Structure 1
Amino acid sequence: MAWLSRPLTLVGLVILAHGCYSAHEHTVLSSTSVQHPTSPSATSLPLDIYIETIAATVLICLGLVLGSGAPQPIQWHTWAGKIEREGDAGSGDADKETLGNPFNALEARSGFININKLHKDFVKYQQLGK
């Protein structure tokens, strides 16, 4: 069904663009024409524009859902177990340090830098040099 998703989304986008253009044209024409100010049709859009917009939105949503991939596991332990089992054969775009263990990125990151300690060390270094 992946071959159907892109044309369906494209058709939905074209229909949605046409519905937006029709709504704009109707608004411009109704504001320039002389109409009785109390008539409800003077400000409301025709029903076919509403139907066209809703149908286009449904087509776009359907095309996007059909084109999406398989759902990924939501539970952390399922995902972590999958990553550990696949190891280097996992996703090719992952960093080399995170392959095999999903916690490697957390364990390999550097800690917070203590600016005050670095400043004190720098002052001591300057005093030793004098």
Structure 2
Amino acid sequence: MEAASLSSLAATQLGTASSLPIDITIETIVATLIICLGLVSGTSQLRPIQWRVWAGKIEQEGEVGFRNSSGEVEKDYVGNPFRLLESRPGFIDIRKQRSEFATWVKNEAVET
């Protein structure tokens, strides 16, 4: 029993005593920094944080304002993000439908 506890104690101490060599640690840090810089420099132009500023830019400039350096429209350009809210596809205008129905009833009454 004593041998088993000593061997398990020795195994845990052996793992914590060994550390990575300093050159591997430095190489890992430098590689991480290079990867981060590459990702940051390769991203597209940042959009304004405020939605109204971005939507205003879209309405004023359209696709022209979202062309990349090669002249193509960026793949994340979707147009006006408020288009669906402004058109209100789920909104029913009861007054308009009532007047259309009244006009239809009057036209049907005249024809018969």
Q: Which TM-score band applies after superposition, normalised by the shorter structure?
A: 0.3 to 0.5
Higher relative contact order (CA 8 A, sep 6+): 1
Structure whose alpha-carbon radius of gyration is higher: 2
TM-score normalized by the length of structure 1: 0.41
